[in-house]
């Protein structure tokens, strides 16, 4: 009996549809790049390690947001609250004016933008970057973290839609 060692072909539409059944939190990763603030909506944020404190996110290798984040050497994860869908849409866009009219504060260690009204923030420096297929796994060493609004419900992405959990 022979074993088929070839890799199966997975349709990208099927992949998205099936994985869409896994709810994820919604974050905006920000940095202060050479040309000013940069922000990108991320649904693939993950806690990696307690000792040392590491978190990570996945960003497409072709993303225009990656070069300024990489150049900055740091980033801030802004955990969005359930009422921030409009802000999420802006940060998910390719707009050059994402931060116009957004009253940000600098993160304590990195100076990366902290968005108003978020649920929590995690200020990091880039620890390691691992190429994984068509994405980079960006691992950050946590420098400062804080729940900014304990009463806010976090934004959740599930089956192609935004929602909330809790409060």
Does residue 5 lie within any of the structural domains?
Answer: no
Does residue 113 lie within any of the structural domains?
Answer: yes
Does residue 94 lie within any of the structural domains?
Answer: yes
- Select from 47, 50, 32 the least CA-distant residue to 110: 32
Return the pLDDT at 71. 96
Structure tokens at 80: 């969005």
Does residue 1 lie within any of the structural domains?
Answer: no
Helix or strand run (H / E) with residue 29: strand 27-33
CATH number of the domain where residue 64 is located: 2.30.110.10
Tell me the C-alpha distance between 110 and 13, whole Å. Answer: 38
Q: Report the domain count for the chain.
A: 1
Rg of the Cα atoms in the chain: 17
Return the pLDDT at 18. 87
pTM to 2 decimal places: 0.89
With beta carbons less than 8 A apart as the criterion, state whether 29 and 57 touch. Answer: yes
Contacts of 28 (CB under 8 A, 6+ apart): 39, 40, 41, 42, 77, 78, 80, 87, 88, 91, 115
Return the pLDDT at 23. 82
Does residue 33 lie within any of the structural domains?
Answer: yes
Does residue 18 lie within any of the structural domains?
Answer: yes
Does residue 35 lie within any of the structural domains?
Answer: yes
Taking only the tens of pLDDT, the chain with its 167 residues reads 566 678 888 888 888 888 787 788 899 999 999 999 999 999 999 999 999 999 999 999 999 999 999 999 999 999 999 999 999 999 999 888 999 999 999 999 999 999 999 999 999 999 999 999 999 999 999 999 999 988 888 898 888 888 777 65
Tell me the C-alpha distance between 14 and 52, whole Å. Answer: 36
Range of the domain at 93: 12-159
Q: Where are the alpha helices (DSSP H) in the chain?
A: 12-19, 66-72, 85-92
Does residue 153 lie within any of the structural domains?
Answer: yes
């Amino acid at each position: 009996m022979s074993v088929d060692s070839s890799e199966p072909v997975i349709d990208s539409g099927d992949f998205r549809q099936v994985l869409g059944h896994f709810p994820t939190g919604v974050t905006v990763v920000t940095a202060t790049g050479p040309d000013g603030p940069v922000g990108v909506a991320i649904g693939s944020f993950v806690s990696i390690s307690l000792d040392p404190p590491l978190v990570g996110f996945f960003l497409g290798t072709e993303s225009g947001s990656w070069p300024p984040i990489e150049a900055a050497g740091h980033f801030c994860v802004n955990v969005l609250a359930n009422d921030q869908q409009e802000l999420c849409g802006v940060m998910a866009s390719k707009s050059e004016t994402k931060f116009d009219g957004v009253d940000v504060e600098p993160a304590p260690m990195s100076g990366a933008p902290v968005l108003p009204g978020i649920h929590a923030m995690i200020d990091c420096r880039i620890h390691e970057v691992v190429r994984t297929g068509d994405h980079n796994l960006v691992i950050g060493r946590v420098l400062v973290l804080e729940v900014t609004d304990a009463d806010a419900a976090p934004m959740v992405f599930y089956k192609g839609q935004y929602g909330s959990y809790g409060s």
